[in-house]
């Protein structure tokens, strides 16, 4: 099941080997097979890659300009490496789609979005226990966060700063 901030969404990508990339629209290929995929695809064709959470940003950087989806594998919900990798990709300037693929739990959904992910690709067993409405509800639980620079709505430090500015500006 694919989840984004609005709930369940339909899968637009097709998982294939790199060599078969041209046989489908929007192929999603293992990162190790990206060269074969690029060789098969025409220049403008969209390409998605699936990467392990152990990969270093530097290894991805040269390819990001050609990629429209990066799917980072979370081998277990307790393995938080993907959050840092996602965040690094966004800091680097990657502007394509970012997916977390693995057995996440709904409580992690706000964290994933804050780190720059757009969507979560859940295995069926997790999806059966955690329907889409739980994922959407998880986003409304904490209205504010303390960290600056993450993609979350209510950043407390910046809200305090804005309040200070308004207060100062409102003085006679």
Partner 1 sequence: MYRYDEFDERFVRERVKQFRGQVERRLSGALSDDEFRPLRLKNGVYLQLHAYMLRIAVPYGTLNSRQLRQLALIGERYDRGYGHFTTRQNLQFNWPKLKDVPDILDLLADVEMHCIQTSGNCIRNVTADHFAGIAADEVEDPRPTSELIRQWSSLHPEFSYLPRKFKIAVTGAAHDRAAVAAHDIGIRILKHPQTGEVGYRIFVGGGLGRTPMIAKTVRDFLPKADLLAYLEAIMRVYNLEGRRDNKYKARVKILVHEMGLEPFREAVEAEFAKLDGPSVNADPAEAARIAAYFAPPAYETLPASDASYEAARAASPDFARWADVNLFPHKVPGYAALTISLKPIGGVPGDATSEQMRVVADLAERYSFDELRVTHRQNLVLPHVKLSDLHAVWQALVAAGLATANDGLITDIIACPGLDYCALATARSIPIAQSISQRFGSYERQREIGPLEIKISGCINACGHHHVGHIGILGLEKSGQESYQVTLGGDASEDAALGVLLGPGIKGEEVPDAIERIVAVYLRERVPGERFVDAVKRLGLGPFKPALTGAPTRELADAH
Residues that bind partner 1 (CB under 8 A): 56, 77-81, 83-85, 87-88, 91, 105-108, 110-112, 114-115, 129-130, 134, 141-150, 152, 156-157, 159-161, 164
Cα 161 to Cα 167: distance, rounded to the nearest angstrom: 10
Which CB sits closer to partner 1, 44 or 56? 56
Shortest separation between residue 43's beta carbon and partner 1, angstroms: 30
Cα 130 to Cα 33: distance, rounded to the nearest angstrom: 32
Q: Which of 81, 86, 106 is nearest to 96 (CA)?
A: 86
Shortest separation between residue 104's beta carbon and partner 1, angstroms: 10
Which CB sits closer to partner 1, 18 or 116? 116
Which CB sits closer to partner 1, 35 or 158? 158
28-44 as b/e, with b when 16 or more CB fall inside 10 Å? bbbbebbebbbebbeee
Which CB sits closer to partner 1, 25 or 159? 159
Q: What is the dihedral of CA 39, 42, 47, 52, to 10 degrees?
A: 0
Shortest separation between residue 106's beta carbon and partner 1, angstroms: 8
Which CB sits closer to partner 1, 37 or 138? 138
Shortest separation between residue 80's beta carbon and partner 1, angstroms: 3
Q: Which of 97, 46, 44, 93 is nearest to 70 (CA)?
A: 97
Residue 104 in contact with residue 120, Cβ under 8 Å? yes
Q: Which of 125, 133, 31 is nearest to 72 (CA)?
A: 31
């Amino acid at each position: 099941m694919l989840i984004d901030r609005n709930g369940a969404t339909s899968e637009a990508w097709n998982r294939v080997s790199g060599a078969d990339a041209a046989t489908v629209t929007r192929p999603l290929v293992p990162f190790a097979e990206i060269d074969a995929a690029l060789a098969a695809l025409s220049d403008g064709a969209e390409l998605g890659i699936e990467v392990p959470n152990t990969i270093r940003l530097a290894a991805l950087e040269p390819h990001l300009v050609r990629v429209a989806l990066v799917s980072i594998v979370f081998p277990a919900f307790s393995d938080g490496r993907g959050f840092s990798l996602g965040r690094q990709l966004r800091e680097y300037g990657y502007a394509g789609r970012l997916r977390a693929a693995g057995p996440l739990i709904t409580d992690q959904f706000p964290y994933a979005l804050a780190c720059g992910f757009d969507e979560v690709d859940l295995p069926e067993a997790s999806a059966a226990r955690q329907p889409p409405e739980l994922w959407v509800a998880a986003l409304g639980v904490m209205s504010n966060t303390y960290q600056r620079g993450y993609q979350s709505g209510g950043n407390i430090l910046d809200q305090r700063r804005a309040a200070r500015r308004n207060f100062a500006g409102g003085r006679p």
